Amino acid sequence: MIVANVLDIMDLVVQVVRSALFWGAAVLALVAAVDWMVRTRRVNPFGPVARFFRASVDPLLAPIERRVVRAGGMPASAPWWALIAVIVGGIALLSVLAYVRDLFRDLFVATGAGPSQVARVLVAWVFVLLQVALLVRVLASWVRVSPYSRWLRWSFRLTEWLLRPLRQLIPPMGTIDVTPLVAYFVLSLVARAVQSAI
């Protein structure tokens, strides 16, 4: 009974967050369209709408605008990049929430099936955490985030023990390091072997 209530609450949270993100993205799309029109002078730059957006919205978009300009983009495209960031972040948040809900469901089912099933679920969680850390490292290398940043340090600590020996065995293919891909598949095979042994 408690398990069903917890899962129902988690489902409700996912639905509420999904609705909030949808309506937030819709409002942000409208704001981005108006701000883009102000920035490209499709709206009178001296009118009240333009003054309001320059005073209220543009300061919020300043960090995104700096990144867009540093990457060689136009400052007028900052509202659209903000919208893309919110949509991608929302999709990632919904995926994480759904995944956490599934993890709890698996754990609740496993507790009813006995200790060996609980051990199997815990082993699966460990291997999934390692695979997520590998994925984070790969994505961080694409956007050139420092491995020493506080957001990424955990992923390097969790995966370097596996990647270092693989790098000694597998040479890079030009500028592409394939060891995270190999490590991901090795972890998948080891996880299956360990789970079948339990």
Whole-model pTM above 0.75? no
Higher pLDDT, 38 or 174: 38
Which of 191, 130, 192, 194 minimizes the C-alpha distance to 162? Answer: 130
Q: How confident is the model at residue 1 (pLDDT cuts 50, 70, 90)?
A: low
User: What is the model's pLDDT at position 9?
Assistant: 86
| Residue 170 · residue 178 · CB < 8 Å | yes
Domain ranges of the chain: 1-113, 114-198
- Output DSSP code: residue 77: G
Cβ-in-10-Å burial (0-12, 13-18, 19+) of 38 comes to buried
How far is residue 159's CA from residue 161's CA, in Å, rounded to a whole number?
5
How far is residue 144's CA from residue 153's CA, in Å, rounded to a whole number?
14
Residue 144 has pLDDT above 80, yes or no: no
Residue 182 has pLDDT above 80, yes or no: yes
User: What is the model's pLDDT at position 98?
Assistant: 85
How far is residue 188's CA from residue 192's CA, in Å, rounded to a whole number?
6
What is the pLDDT averaged over residues 124-149? 82
Residue 104, C-beta contacts closer than 8 angstroms, at least 6 positions apart: 6, 7, 10
Average pLDDT score, the chain: 84
What is the pLDDT averaged over residues 60-88? 86
Residue 187, C-beta contacts closer than 8 angstroms, at least 6 positions apart: 127, 130, 131, 134, 162
